[in-house]
Chains A and B, each alone.
Chain A
């Protein structure tokens, strides 16, 4: 659980560095939550990438995977609660729904691309297995899928921020 606190500290540090209250107050609650989700995703999956070399057994990988899932859920709950205290949530209107739809569309393309690459790798189409000595094929697939999910979430959050900032 200590790394959850480390990640939490990183997020709070990042937020405190860029905490221009004027800018925060001009954002919608949805944009603030997109920033929070982006920070949580980058922090948790950054930790995942850093820990992958140390998780070589199936048990260690399972432990790491469950750990990041729990970390994402807990951190999102805590961060969203803080965001709600800073900025009162407003109701969702048609522009919010249109922006969310476009963000999910962008994320879908990334998820589909990552899943396609993973399938190709499963078929030994991208990098031949002998070149991946020491890294069991299931482990590669797990890492590829986890990072695909992370990339899709990053693109979703970045798209939300982009569309809200641009004013679309």
Chain B
């Protein structure tokens, strides 16, 4: 089962927002509950638009919701 290099804090943010249900978040974002579940478990990387919609639903900046972790997939970080 392949996972994406994009990590997220959706589970934590849902907890912080009064245990918001996946279905409620899905309704706010305009996707299915199964899609929210797949994103939350790192099995599906959403489009930029859906990523922004999720962040907007939590009233949080995008980088607080999603983090790109190339090291977890064996990619080297960019040299500075």
Contacts and interface: CB of A to CB of B under 8 A. Distances in A.
B31 A94 contact: yes
B30 A167 contact: no
Contacts of B34: 28, 95, 164
Contact of A167 (B41, B46, B47, B50): B41
User: Considering residues B1, B2, B34, B43, which has the most beta carbons from chain A within 10 angstroms of its beta carbon?
Assistant: B34
Nearest to A26: B34
B1 A90 contact: no
B32 A167 contact: no
A166 interface: yes
A90 to B, nearest CB: 5
Interface string B47-80: 1001000000000000000000000000000000
* A: interface residue count bin: 10 to 19
A93 B30 contact: yes
B31 to A, nearest CB: 4
A164 B34 CA distance: 9
B2 to A, nearest CB: 8
B21 to A, nearest CB: 15
A131 interface: no
B1 A95 contact: no
A96 interface: yes
Interface in A85-137: 90-91, 93-96
Interface string A151-168: 000000000000010111
Majority secondary structure of chain A interface residues (helix, strand, loop or mixed): loop
Contacts of B43: 166-168
A100 to B, nearest CB: 13
Interface in B13-56: 30-32, 34-35, 37-38, 41, 43-44, 46-47, 50
Given A94-B47, A94-B50, A167 B31 contact: no
Given A167-B37, A168-B44, A96 B1 contact: no
Given A166-B43, A167-B41, A93 B1 contact: no
23 contacts: A28-B34, A90-B32, A93-B30, A93-B32, A94-B31, A94-B35, A94-B46, A94-B50, A95-B31, A95-B34, A95-B35, A95-B38, A95-B44, A95-B46, A96-B35, A164-B34, A166-B43, A167-B38, A167-B43, A167-B44, A168-B2, A168-B43, A168-B44
